[in-house]
Amino acid sequence: MKVVIQNGVRHALTRKEVEAMITFSPSTWVRSVDSLVLYQTSEDRVFATYHPKEKLLGLFWPSSPHSGLSKVTAIDEMLIAMAAVADMKHLPERLPEPRRVQYLDAADDVRKHCLEVVDAQPGAAGDAR
């Protein structure tokens, strides 16, 4: 899976972190996504989109994030999106909360590894939570 950062984007996650996290992802997730692109958005939320024809997963981070957002928020959104895409072959604009919880619970082991990745990055201690 190729990880791309849109030009000029300030995202919670770095390419290096995402590439490291992907190594812990199940093969079904990795086969479902060819490219993961980190974008910036004017919306005040973290969200993901999926383009099935290109097998492109976009992870959006607000250009002016509020204090409640963190790397953990971005990681959770990425994991939920990857699990949903592997399961449904698409990503609904609004995934029902019970489904989000189901996917995040199923990704618990991967999530633990992802959190270790951001904790291990230099300067990440204050940014990771």
Q: What is the pLDDT of residues 3-42, one digit of tens each?
A: 999 877 888 999 999 999 999 999 999 999 999 999 999 9
pTM above 0.85, yes or no: yes
Rounded to the nearest 10°, the torsion over CA 8, 10, 15, 17 is: 170
Local confidence band at 97 (pLDDT 50, 70, 90 cut-offs): very high
The pLDDT of residue 66: 78
Contact (CB, 8 A) for 64 and 44: yes
φ, ψ for residue 123, nearest 5 deg? 75, 5
The pLDDT of residue 128: 39
The pLDDT of residue 114: 96
φ, ψ for residue 90, nearest 5 deg? -160, 175
CA distances from 128 to 7, 34, 53, 120 (A): 23, 26, 33, 10
